[in-house]
Every structure is written in structure tokens, then in C-alpha cells.
Amino acid sequence: MRILVVNKFLYNNGGSETYIFNLFNYSSKQGNEIEYFGMEHQKNIVGNRLNQYIGNMDFKGNVLKKVLYPLKVIYSIEAKMKIRKVIKDFKPDVIHINNFNYQVTPSILYEIKKFNIPVIQTLHDPQLVCPYHRLYNYKKKEICEKCKDGRFSSCILTKCIDDSIFKSMIGAAESYIYRKLNTYEMINYFISPSRFLKGKMIDMNTNINHNKILVLHNFISENDVENHQNKKDYVLYFGRLSIEKGIHRLIEACKRLTEIKFVFAGGGELENDLIGVKNIKFVGFKTGEELKTLISEALFSIYPSEWYENCPMSILESQMYGTPVIGADIGGIPELIDDKIDGYLFKSGDVDDLTDKIISLYKDKDKREEFSLRCKEKVKKFSIDLYYPKLMEIYDKAINELKSKEVF
């Protein structure tokens, strides 16, 4: 099968790209032909044989001041023209879209439709119902669902996007236009990595057929689920150090638990908040073998988020190495942690509850070992070997449905 993968970034830029590269590297090994379409960038590690990409655009940068930039963010003639060339040359059987708003833009869907090729999109965030893609108000530090039912003017009123009324107006306009035109109905199926996200899309009224949203949890691509016995005396947090991740609450819990050593790995705006907390060791951003060792040797890890997580890979990574997780009961997190079975859930934002759960698991070695064994058994359900055939079933279903329509 020939699969054209669309994503704004064609280099490692976050969790979405990790998902894309792991999945389609695996897919290529199964005999499929893969090409990619997105923005040009010197860091790109994948592409297409025509070298057709759109010019690099940074929605976060100051180039928004350029006269034509706001229009390109909403509708890209360049993207339509170049993806047309790639489609004609590559002749894909299916097109798998990931993150494409504000750079590649949904305008490409109109071009794809001309070729009668099925389109699948993985929902890496709540973009369909939130112009800022986050359902979170950073100024108030709280969950935000004000754009429910397409009330995107709320994005402008609260200056959601980078505290900029200009960017927020562009984001709201993009969401409003494509909702009004029912553009996303041209996507055959949406893959939601959590039941929670699908439910939120329905609850906030995405204006698309709910039967087209299929739940398929993220996967673990590594097969080295090992029996790690060399646990060391520390509790781990790894990930972004930011307010919505609940880091400030976790730091407060650490201050209360002076007898426990905590290790923080990652980066973000709250790095300085770790300074002076004697039982926190900050090791910075880690990847590869260093991160693997940190995770596998920890007694357990903590995921204290205070916003709607989708299907956080950090939890699956931790469980893969037999490291249980204490996670907040928010978003898709409870779908990955079975409370009191292979980890603990605590009330999101509640420092007292978090502290109690940390003390309980830290003092109970038998419980940690019990959780550890169950974690390693559980993550087998999230293997890429199981994910891939389910994805191919979705592709085949979309292809066959289009063919049946052609008959009539």
C-alpha cells in the first residue's frame, strides 16, 4: 500500500512526530511505500521524491506581521499546489493526516478530494473544538471549554493564543471558517488516541459524524519489556516542566516529603522553581539510553497533570520498564492506569491526595513489585504489533467505502 503522511513538521519536534516516525518506519518494514508532505526545514529527516514542501511558517513567530501571512495560515494555495504534484507522482492509496493546521492548512482537503483518495487523521490534540488546540487557559491556569458548540469568539476575547488578540483572531477565524464549510467531513475517519478525547469531541460538538471517530490508543514501539531489578531509591518525574503539567503541585508535595529523593528530568519554564528544594535532583532534558535508565531504575514515576491529557506516552514508557505510575485522574490518564491494580490515581490538583499516594507507594515495597509485574504485562496490549493491523483495517475500510460509492 502507498501511504502519504501529512504533518507540518518532518523532523523530531515532539510526541506527535515520535508517533509518526515510529509508526511509519514500522509500516515501511511491513512492505508499504511511505512518502511525507509538510514544511521544508533543514532538520527534516523524511520527505517525498519530488522534494515538494511548503515554505517554513512559524505561527509562534513575529512573521505574522507580514501582510499575506494571516491569509496563508488559514488557506494555503502553495500547499494545495504542491500536494497535488506529490499525489500525482506518488499515487497514494490513502493519505494519513496528523498536525496540519496553521501551516499546511485544511485547504489541502479540497485538493485531495479531487483525487478521490481516502483520508485518515490522527487527533493528537482537541484542535477540532479549540483554536488553541489545548482546552486550557494559561492566564487563569485552568481548563477552558468556552469554544463549545463553535463559539470561537471566546478565543479572541480571552486572547488565548500567546496572549495575542491578532493571533487569536486568526485562530478563531480558521476554526470558524472550516466548521462553517463542514470541511472536516471530507476526512473519512479520525483516530482518537483515547476514549476521553472522543467523548470530549462529541460533548463539545465537533460538527462531524461521531461514528467517524475511532478510538485507538497509542502504542509502544520497543519490544524490550525487561525484568528490571536494579531499582534505586528515588521517585521520578520526566516531561515538560510547565504549569499545566501540575509541576507546582508536585514540587509542593516534594517539599512535604523531605525523606524521599525525587529526580526531575525535562525542561520548561518552571525549571527555576526546582532550585533550593533539597530533595529534588534536576538532571535536565534526557533522551535515549539515559532516559531509559532513569525510568527503569526509579521506584515509580509521577504524572501530575492538570489539563486534559490525551494518551501520554510517558505513562506507557514508564510501565514498559516495570515502573508504576501515580497519575492524575484527568483526561485520558485513567485509561492507562488501573487504580490500585498497577498504579495509583489521585485527584488532579490535590496536593494532599498526591502526597498521601506517594507516601503509601514509597513505603510499600511489596505493592511496588506487584504493580511493576502488572505494568509489564499490561503494556503488551499497547504493542505496535497490535496497533498496526488495526490501523490497516481502518485504511481498508475507508478504501472499500470509497470504491462502493464509485460503483453507484
Edge to edge, what strands does the sheet with 300-303 contain? 280-284, 262-267, 235-240, 300-303, 325-328, 343-346
The three-state DSSP-derived secondary structure of the chain is CEEEEECCCCCCCCHHHHHHHHHHHHHHHCCCEEEEECECCCCCCCCCCCCCCECCCCCCCHHHHCCCHHHHHHCCHHHHHHHHHHHHHHCCCEEEECCCCCCCCCCHHHHHHCCCCCEEEECCCCCCCCCCCCCEECCCCEECCCCHHHCCHHHHHCCCCCCCHHHHHHHHHHHHHHHHCCHHHHCCEEEECCHHHHHHHHHCCCCCCHHHEEECCCCECCCCCCCCCCCCCCEEEEEECCHHHCHHHHHHHHHHCCCCCEEEEEECCCHHHHCCCCCEEEEECCCHHHHHHHHHHCCEEEECCCCCCCCCHHHHHHHHCCCCEEEECCCCHHHCCCECCCEEEECCCCHHHHHHHHHHHHHCHHHHHHHHHHHHHHHHHHEHHHHHHHHHHHHHHHHHHHHHHHHC
Cβ within 8 Å of residue 27, ≥6 positions away = 3, 34, 388
Q: What is the pLDDT of residue 225?
A: 54
pLDDT, residue 131, reads 95
CA-to-CA distance for 180 and 129, rounded, in angstroms? 13
Strands 213-215 and 119-122 turn out to be unpaired
Position 207 scores a pLDDT of 86
Residue 120 has what pLDDT? 98
244 φ, ψ (degrees, to nearest 5): -70, -15
Q: Tell me what pLDDT residue 68 has.
A: 54
Which residue segments constitute the domains of the chain, with CATH numbers given? 2-219+384-407 (3.40.50.2000), 235-381 (3.40.50.2000)
Computed over its alpha carbons, how large is the radius of gyration of the chain? 22
Q: What is the mean pLDDT of each run of 10 residues along the chain (408 residues)?
A: 97 91 97 98 97 82 55 90 98 98 95 97 96 93 95 94 90 95 96 97 92 96 62 96 96 98 96 96 93 96 97 94 97 98 98 98 97 95 96 97 76
Predicted pLDDT of residue 162: 87
> Do 102 and 174 touch, CB atoms closer than 8 A?
yes
List the grid coordinates of 345: 490515581
Which pLDDT does position 56 carry in this prediction? 84
pLDDT at residue 15, rounded to an integer: 85
Cα torsion angle, 103, 105, 108, 109, sign:
positive
Cα 344 to Cα 33, 42, 243, 271, distances in angstroms: 42, 43, 22, 26
Residues 186-242 have pLDDT tens digits of 999 999 999 999 999 999 988 899 999 999 999 998 655 555 568 999 999 999 999
d(CA 44, CA 23): 17
Question: Residue 66's pLDDT is what?
Answer: 55
Q: What is the pLDDT of residue 288?
A: 87
Tens of pLDDT, residues 235-258: 999 999 999 999 999 999 999 999
What is d(CA 294, CA 299) in angstroms, rounded to the nearest whole number?
10
Give CA–CA dist 60/370, Å, rounded.
45
| Residue 235 φ/ψ, nearest 5 degrees | -110, 140
User: What pLDDT is recorded for position 73?
Assistant: 84
Specify whether the CB–CB gap between 318 and 382 falls below 8 A: no
